[in-house]
Chain A
């Protein structure tokens, strides 16, 4: 256990009636970072968070918070606080009563607590809300009050269980930025659970992607997007085109791969040693493919196809291209730089796709 880790999760599993919700997870969360647990519903991210809060206890393994083993410590004695998915605002108390709820044992006088509450209201940009009833608050306001109620305790770690899920899109994007700025200001470690990959990428220093109770990859947003190590991560984060491939040549950190409809592709192999003849997965992001209506000259990485269906999304379009020898069309993203979408009405026209060498991601075949 290194000193930079405020939370250390060691070999933790959680079973519910024989089903492994969390399966042998090892994870270190650094002091002061914004850390996200990302995954589809049922992947175990919420269970893991609830184990940090103490509402569930691990079937196996141990959780350390600030070098202290947590298995014998009940929720009300842990140095963490949580923002619940439903916010769990006490309906019988006003905003002040909610925010000050955890301050009973703080040793502060009533007026000191009230002053702290006012500070918190200032921080969450709801000044003058102290005597509002809990039932008079909107969704966004409840979320802020829940945040203030947890932060007033100055926890070592703040746990957030999909706190933005119930908000509409605009408010959610605003709260993402605010939450991120707030975290930088207070310097408390945030552990944030979400199923929204965009949200995780926007806010986090590092993200752990979970699937079926396991942590598949822990990395910063860019690393996760550009260098996924598994097909699941590549597919879950953003959009990805996958091709089956066979390694033909591998030397000096680059490999030449026979990728079916894409033809021969070359890619950097990073650290993994790919052996000649191995079956692998070749992946490429839609925005890294360049689509042209004429052959792009003597480039190395070119594939010819026909235009398929297209979807206009306003700022960009998703075009689908049929390549011979492949049932599923290849997705291509195009920025709509002019005021009309290129290629939208060009169904069945011959098109060419080209890409740079470093656009290709190689993944192990599972």
Chain B
């Protein structure tokens, strides 16, 4: 009791605080305030560089193009055109199919590479990760042109195979078609797929794999029952990271796609360019965004179902 009395006698008066100190004290007491403060530069930038342009794009899609300026009366005309002419939806669906194939190819190619670095490389992991980014040290355009050289009529593959006597005439199905687009994009986006998968594999506690072996599962079943489900977050992240941007890509289809490899991005680019119909271009872009969001939601829902089924 005597000690308790001493403590209460020693209690100090709370100091009167100035405004700055009061803000500081509030920030110390409330975790969320600090969080938002830390986020605010990013949030401001997102607002200026993403939300505002997006709002402009959506607004633009409800206007109409005159020859030199916009008719700013609100109208659904662009969307009516979009759904009336089959080319837009057809191209969008084709784009989704092509980038779906790109995503599948990229993830399938990236997984073994990520697995190798995460499990088999014992030292100099950083060096391997840097090596993966080496292709990015040259321009994207250059890399696409390089594929043109590799895949072309007189390209590396064709002339090589002819010299070896494997074929008599150049293969024509490897350039200026969707296959060429898939090959080129799968290469261009490989690093973006490898890194998230690598991170999720690296995080897996190695004793879990030993536990799987200890409980009677050989290497293949251990992989299917432990490694694969635990690396799903990386696979999902990779898929989205590759799928979303490649659906709207227009450089690669333009250069290696030929007439059959054209994608929705090419239409958007020409509407904003040669065709000079920005509002219709905006409507096409908005619809692409909407459709991609749907596909991504469906994909996430599907993976969630699979994971719950497995667990």
Chain A interface residues (CB < 8 Å from chain B):
53-55, 74-77, 80-82, 84-86, 88, 90-94, 97, 101-102, 104-105, 149-150, 153
Smallest CB gap from B228: residue in A: A92
Smallest CB gap from A134: residue in B: B311
Are B214 and A75 interface neighbours, CB within 8 A? yes
Bound Cα distance A77, B215 (Å): 9
Are A53 and B214 interface neighbours, CB within 8 A? yes
Bound Cα distance A320, B185 (Å): 78
Tell me, yes or no, whether B171 is within 8 Å of chain A by CB. Answer: no
Chain B contact residues (Cβ within 8 angstroms of A): what range? Answer: 20 to 34
Bound Cα distance A75, B219 (Å): 10
Are B311 and A102 interface neighbours, CB within 8 A? no
Contacts of A104 in B (CB 8 A): 216-217, 221
Type the 1/0 row for B208-249, where 1 means its CB is closer than 8 Å to any CB of A. 101111111110011001100110000000000000000000
A61 to chain B, nearest CB (A): 22
Bound Cα distance A115, B180 (Å): 55
Contacts of B210 in A (CB 8 A): 53, 55, 75, 82, 84, 88
Tell me, yes or no, whether B207 is within 8 Å of chain A by CB. Answer: yes
> A97-B311, A101-B225 in contact; A91/B230 too (CB < 8 A)?
yes
Smallest CB gap from A82: residue in B: B214
A–B pairs, 17, beta carbons within 8 Å? A53-B210, A76-B213, A76-B215, A76-B222, A80-B214, A84-B207, A84-B210, A86-B207, A90-B212, A91-B208, A91-B230, A92-B229, A92-B230, A101-B225, A102-B216, A104-B217, A104-B221
Are A88 and B205 interface neighbours, CB within 8 A? yes
> A76-B218, A84-B207, A97-B311 in contact; A90/B226 too (CB < 8 A)?
yes
Q: Which listed residue (A53, A54, A88, A150) contacts B208, Cβ 8 A?
A: A88
A193 to chain B, nearest CB (A): 14
Are B311 and A94 interface neighbours, CB within 8 A? yes
Bound Cα distance A341, B210 (Å): 51
> A55-B210, A84-B210 in contact; A92/B216 too (CB < 8 A)?
no
> A86-B205, A86-B207 in contact; A92/B311 too (CB < 8 A)?
yes
6 new A-B contacts, CB < 8 A, other than A76-B213, A84-B211, A150-B214, are A75-B213, A75-B214, A76-B215, A77-B216, A88-B210, A92-B226
A104 to chain B, nearest CB (A): 7
Smallest CB gap from A149: residue in B: B215
Task: List the 5 closest pairs (A to B, CB-CB), nearest first.
Answer: A102-B215, A88-B211, A88-B207, A75-B213, A76-B213
Smallest CB gap from A102: residue in B: B215
Are A101 and B311 interface neighbours, CB within 8 A? no
Bound Cα distance A94, B307 (Å): 12
Are A74 and B207 interface neighbours, CB within 8 A? no
Are A76 and B217 interface neighbours, CB within 8 A? yes
> A90-B211, A93-B311 in contact; A105/B216 too (CB < 8 A)?
yes
Are B207 and A101 interface neighbours, CB within 8 A? no
Are B208 and A90 interface neighbours, CB within 8 A? yes
Contacts of A81 in B (CB 8 A): 214-215
Type the 1/0 row for B59-71, where 1 means its CB is closer than 8 Å to any CB of A. 0000000000000
B236 to chain A, nearest CB (A): 14
A282 to chain B, nearest CB (A): 45
Bound Cα distance A81, B217 (Å): 12
Contacts of A54 in B (CB 8 A): 213
Contacts of A94 in B (CB 8 A): 311
Contacts of A101 in B (CB 8 A): 211-212, 215, 217, 225
Between A53, A75, A80, A91, the greatest number of chain B beta carbons within 10 A of the residue's beta carbon is seen for A75
Smallest CB gap from A85: residue in B: B207
Contacts of A74 in B (CB 8 A): 213, 218
Contacts of B310 in A (CB 8 A): 92
Tell me which residues from 261 to 311 in chain B have a Cβ below 8 Å from any Cβ of chain A. 307, 310-311
Bound Cα distance A93, B311 (Å): 5
Smallest CB gap from B307: residue in A: A92
Are B215 and A153 interface neighbours, CB within 8 A? yes
A77 to chain B, nearest CB (A): 8
Are B205 and A76 interface neighbours, CB within 8 A? no
Smallest CB gap from A75: residue in B: B213
Bound Cα distance A55, B210 (Å): 7
Bound Cα distance A113, B77 (Å): 62
Smallest CB gap from B206: residue in A: A88
Are B311 and A153 interface neighbours, CB within 8 A? no
Bound Cα distance A86, B211 (Å): 11
Contacts of A86 in B (CB 8 A): 205, 207
Bound Cα distance A105, B208 (Å): 19
